[in-house]
């Protein structure tokens, strides 16, 4: 149910009025043979190095080629996890998690094919439609319509939203989305069409983007349904009065940092969209979990439950992206400080000498 109550009281350090907009610019220097990142968090000036008309032309050309490619390729695709979506692939991963030596032998053929003949994925699993991709395409075409005024782009965006309506997870009162395959993890098997808090926020953003450019609130009931799903359907493990960790799917008890970052951002956005204080209060507890989980060196482990004690570049980016969005919406000082430390860690430890991302740190 929507409320019109004020989002937070005047004593709160955080409020849901639009806070200062910042971008994270970086300069690099060498110190004791180790690279350091100097981050000016208040610098909003970007110098692309080329004149604006030239840059706009290059972007327009790139987007056009991408659109042409999508038309030729189609809206279904192979996926990184295709080998492991098969029954044998799930078995091999399950053995690997429980008995690493024997499991290494089981997964070795897939590792070889991934590295040298990735096209063989099509032999094991059909091309599939992914809600995560549909959400991004819907957002992309909505933004293209907003930038160009071309109605065809808005029509394309709506087509992807229609696909999302068809692919929502069955058996749930509210709208949610997950993976279209069974996913074996070291915490058990996540069945196909299980809603995932790392997927649903993108779908919320997709419906919100089209709703914004269309301006008639046609998708507002769907947005409210998604918000209710994120608010109601994920288990919250309370750590103390101000900190909770969300589940990844509706029933697990994991403590995965990027999952908390996703839910924190999405409920913050929904709190503003629907003026619902309960969304913000629940999301803020997940945000506090993310902030508290940051290590002394500025990094985040994938999870804090002891099962996945590693740091990698793309999950770190997921966390920082969510914090940046929350900071942009609220001006939350904790997000700003965490991002300063996280960005420094990222450039010091998660990119190589050629500025290419490193896979992971830890095990």
Instruction: Note the pLDDT tens digit of each residue in 245-258.
Output: 999 999 898 999 99
What's the pLDDT score for residue 334?
A: 96
Q: In the chain, what percentage of residues exceed pLDDT 90?
A: 77
Percentages helix, strand, coil for the chain (3-state, rounded to 5) are 55, 10, 35
What's the pLDDT score for residue 49?
A: 52
Instruction: Note the pLDDT tens digit of each residue in 149-164.
Output: 999 999 999 999 999 9
> b/e per residue, 194-226, with b = 16+ CB within 10 A?
bbbbbbbbbbbbbbbbbbebeeeeebeebbbbb
Instruction: Note the pLDDT tens digit of each residue in 26-67.
Output: 333 333 233 433 334 444 344 445 568 889 899 999 999 999
What's the pLDDT score for residue 36?
A: 39
Q: What are phi and psi of 224, to 5 degrees?
A: -65, -40
Crossing angle of helices 151-167 and 200-214, in 10° steps, is 140
Instruction: Note the pLDDT tens digit of each residue in 210-232.
Output: 999 998 999 999 999 999 999 99
Residue 353: pLDDT over 60: yes
Residue 185: pLDDT over 60: yes
CB 231, CB 280: distance < 8 Å: no
Mean predicted confidence (pLDDT) in 294-317:
93
Residue 354: pLDDT over 70: yes
CB-hemisphere CA count at 13 Å for 52? 1
What's the pLDDT score for residue 110?
A: 96
**Cα 56 to Cα 64: distance, rounded to the nearest angstrom:** 12
Confidence of residue 362 (pLDDT cuts 50, 70, 90): low
């Amino acid at each position: 149910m929507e409320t019109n109550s004020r989002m937070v009281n005047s004593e709160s350090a955080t409020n849901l009025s639009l806070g200062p907009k910042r971008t994270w610019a970086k300069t690099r220097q060498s110190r004791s043979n180790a690279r350091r990142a100097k981050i000016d968090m208040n610098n909003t000036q970007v110098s692309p190095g080329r004149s604006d008309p030239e840059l706009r032309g290059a972007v327009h050309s790139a987007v056009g080629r991408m659109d042409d490619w999508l038309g030729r390729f189609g809206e279904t695709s192979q996926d990184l996890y295709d080998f492991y979506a098969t029954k044998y692939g799930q078995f091999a991963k399950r053995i690997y998690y429980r008995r690493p030596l024997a499991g290494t032998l089981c997964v070795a053929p897939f590792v070889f094919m991934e590295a040298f003949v990735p096209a063989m994925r099509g032999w094991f699993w059909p091309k599939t439609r992914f809600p995560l991709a549909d959400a991004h395409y819907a957002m992309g075409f909505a933004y293209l319509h907003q930038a160009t005024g071309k109605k065809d782009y808005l029509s394309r965006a709506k087509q992807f939203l229609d696909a999302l309506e068809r692919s929502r997870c069955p058996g749930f009162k509210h709208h949610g989305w997950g993976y279209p395959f069974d996913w074996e993890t070291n915490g058990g098997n996540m069945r196909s069409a299980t809603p995932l808090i790392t997927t649903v926020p993108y779908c919320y953003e997709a419906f919100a983007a089209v709703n914004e450019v269309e301006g008639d609130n046609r998708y507002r009931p769907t947005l409210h349904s998604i918000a209710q799903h994120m608010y109601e359907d994920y288990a919250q493990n309370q750590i103390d009065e101000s900190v909770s960790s969300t589940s990844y799917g509706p029933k697990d008890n994991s403590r995965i940092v990027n999952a908390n970052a996703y839910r924190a951002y999405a409920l913050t956005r929904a709190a503003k969209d629907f003026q619902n204080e309960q969304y913000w209060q629940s999301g803020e507890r997940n945000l506090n979990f993310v902030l508290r989980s940051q290590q002394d060196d500025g990094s985040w482990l994938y999870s804090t439950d002891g099962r996945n004690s590693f740091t990698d570049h793309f999950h770190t980016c997921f966390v920082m992206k969510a914090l940046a969005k929350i900071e942009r919406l609220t001006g939350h000082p904790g997000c700003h400080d965490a991002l300063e430390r996280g960005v420094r860690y990222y450039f010091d430890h998660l990119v190589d000498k050629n500025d290419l991302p490193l896979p992971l740190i830890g095990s």
